[in-house]
Amino acid sequence: MIRATTLALALTLAACATTQAPSTTGTPAPPAAKPQPPVPSPPPAPVVQPVVTEQARAEFARETAAKYSVDPAYIESVLSRAEIRDSIITAMSRPAEAKPWRDYRPIFITQARIDGGQAFLAQHRDALARVQGRYGVPPEIIVSIIGVETNYGTNTGKYPVVDALYTLAFAYPRTGDPAKVDRENSRQAFFRSELAQLFALGKETGLDITTLTGSYAGAMGWGQFMPSSYRDYAVDGNGDGKRDLFNSTDDVFASIANYFVKKGGWVRGGTVTVRANRAVDAQDVPDSLDPTFTLGDLAARGYRPLVDVPPNQTATLVSLDGASGPEYWLGFRNFYAITRYNISKHYAMAVYQLSEAIAGRAQETTPVAATEPGQPSA
């Protein structure tokens, strides 16, 4: 999703109990205590719904009208009917990307989703081949994005886009953690900008933004584009003069590919990611999605690809907590391009592995034994 995500912290209190050793004096043990009924949990605290003042809406309307030449009265009329939705705040507080890889992967890599992707690819093979010829993005990658985002167009989201962006622009969820204040402020500012750009999008495309539905984060259409991405990267794939990401698969395919190329720097024919071996004396590698290390750099730190890859590519280390143990991968420029769609290594790996399965190239995910110090991988 082009869409934006944030991590929520859950603080758990655990009580400790100690058990005394049985008496050795021969005194009979007291009878076991009768089990007590569980203490009922206190009722949840009532949700306090934030109140958005008329002054705040009016200020937003003035700013948006000045920036995008939209009638401020129209903006205020739309926002006056918008709702702050608790379900959106809850969903944003616990994104799936916060799950460990062993729990995240099964959400998307299922036989049903693989079968659906293969059927979808077969149905649209010619159109996807034309897009690949123009942009260099393989059909299975485009299909996988649509599969992960909307289950091949069958679930594009039911939240009113205006409500989703209004909620996150004016009532973004807060953890109360001082260390997260700057990021939470930044995320709220991002959604405030997206809400403003939704009005610009309506003006430019003629879409009635009050009727649009999408995800809890305000992403829309088969490929789940945020308003800014719709404006910047959506293209007319069938030559009808429109950019329709809700009904035109030609526009959807071309727009996803265009996004990868323009936003992510997709390399035609480039590697996405490969499994790596970790030497027993491997050094730490800075955690980054940006592929800034040469293969020589990574080898010197103890990480080598398990298959041959062009030596002139740069990569980053992708460490995952798999179901069977740690997994190590090298992520190249095209892996980074997928993370521009959703800034998460879990998301990018799910898209890649689903695409490989759709193309009939299932990936091995079992642990790889570490090599001895200084030894090349098998």
Residues forming the active site: 149
SS3 202: helix
H or E segment to which residue 213 belongs: strand 213-214
Chain centroid offset of residue 212 CA = 21
Cα Rg, the chain, nearest whole Å: 25
- Pair 234, 245: CB distance under 8 Å: yes
- Give the Å distances, CA to CA, from 53 to 80, 170, 185: 10, 10, 19
* Residue 320: φ, ψ to 5°: -130, 145
User: What count of other Cβ atoms lies within 10 Å of the Cβ of residue 377?
Assistant: 19
SS3 95: coil
Query: Rounded to an integer, what distance in angstroms lies between the CA atom of residue 96 and that of residue 107?
Result: 9
Single out the residue of 197, 169, 172, 178 nearest to residue 57, CA to CA: 169
Query: Rounded to an integer, what distance in angstroms lies between the CA atom of residue 89 and that of residue 349?
Result: 26
